[in-house]
Amino acid sequence: MKTLSKLSVSLVLSGFIIGCSQEAPSPDLSQPKLVRFANSLDISAPEVNSDLVKSMNVIISEMSQTIHLPLNLNANIKAFDPQFSIESGVSISPQGPQDFSQGPVDYVFTKGQRAKTYRVFAQTVNNPIVEGYYADPEIIYSERDDKYYLYPTSDGFHGWSGTYFETFSSPDLVNWTKEGTILDLKKDVSWANRNAWAPSGIEKKINGEYKYFYYFTAAQKIGVAVADNPQGPFVDSGEPLIDFKPDGVKGGQEIDPDVFTDPVSGKSYLYWGNGYLAVAELNDDMTSIDKSTVQVMTPDATFREGVEVFFRNGTYYFLWSEDDTRSPNYRVRYATSDSPMGSLTISEDNLVIAKDEAKEIFATGHNSVINKAGTGEWFIVYHRFNRPNGLFMGGDAGFHREVCIDKLAFDADGKIIRVEPTLAGISQD
């Protein structure tokens, strides 16, 4: 992290951006921290201790003396206690649980004869869906477990230098439980020990038993690991699956795998690529490809990376990310096809999701898509810059990302209706 002589800060205040600057070193963003600033009364902006608060997303403004608290869905806003952390000699009023359902509550912090009031807003939200820095989310539904599993990149490491993968499980796409580390490059992979990125996974029933295949990026190559359970542990195959460029491709990287089983033919395919999009049929063992089927199918010049393929009502959808993940303009576009190997049809208005400046949501990209089991509901899972710290991280925002989920809808012709990213996310019906 660079040390800056002057730190420019933008604070989010009910949809408005206010800029200020002060002499300070740049903050250590490797761990979640609150935005804090000293004030003339020597009463520091209070930290929040409650485990019901999404601490990475708290917004504190000394300028307007406001605090915005995003709460987990199981918080009771009619009787919520922020549990502010205050220094010795400072008193606070009111104390104990307060009713935030009717609007903000004013808290007075007093030190001797001096006092300062913060207007505190609290609201339950579900984006991001898991605590911590994560990116490149893949999501699958396990028929065996009747659960959803989230496979993200472990983020928060400078230069995308993470070396392990974790997973989360959910019965309803709303409530998530961390299952722990499922693959550690330094311990479990012999051919690479760096840059653990952008995994993809799938459940397959083979000879009457469920198996789980996990395709992952490591050292700009693609590997595959196998497990008997979706939460691992996964055992690496022992060598990279994709460590070559397809014929005709000169640039880009061999990263960002996506696995897809065609419900029509039953065949499974692996897609990958940064700067180009390639596809190959997977062999029956799911750990090797038929190299004679490798094909380049880059949609257009907007394609950067992060392909996602799914099937709905006879149509194959291909989604990809445009721009750089460090850019606020990172976003998702799509094409359709009548075959899992193309050709692709790109509509004039093919934007799926993009930033929302009014909500201070930026860099909405590298997504996966899931159909809620037994329903006609579809959802898009994607990452965004951390909010609000992404506003002043610069390029570092590109590896301090968080995972969100919103509804995905289609019009009568099957075209994707552009998704408006939300702060609230989805809730349990």
Mean pLDDT of 291-295: 98
The verdict on whether omega for the bond into residue 128 sits within 30 degrees of 0, i.e. cis, is yes
Same domain for 175 and 114: no
pLDDT for 117 beyond 60: yes
Domain extent for 49 = 7-124
Answer yes or no: is 174 within a domain. Answer: yes
Same domain for 278 and 225: yes
Q: At 331, which CATH number?
A: 2.115.10.20
State the maximum Cα–Cα separation within the chain, in Å, rounded to a whole number: 80
pLDDT for 428 beyond 80: no
Same domain for 185 and 113: no
pLDDT recorded at residue 27? 36
Same domain for 152 and 59: no
Answer yes or no: is 423 within a domain. Answer: no
| Residue 171 contacts residue 165 (beta carbons within 8 Å) | no
> Which residues carry out catalysis?
136, 305
Answer yes or no: is 232 within a domain. Answer: yes
What number of residues does the chain have?
Answer: 429
pLDDT recorded at residue 429? 63
User: Given pLDDT bands bounded at 50, 70 and 90, which one contains residue 5?
Assistant: very low
pLDDT recorded at residue 155? 98
Q: At 55, which CATH number?
A: 2.60.40.2340
Q: Which of 104, 124, 144 is the last residue of a domain?
A: 124
Q: What is the pTM of this model?
A: 0.89
Same domain for 69 and 156: no
Q: How many CA atoms lie within 13 A of 170 on its CB side?
A: 21
Strand (E) or helix (H) holding 185: helix 185-188
Same domain for 159 and 94: no
Same domain for 83 and 27: yes
pLDDT recorded at residue 391? 82
Mean pLDDT of 384-391: 94
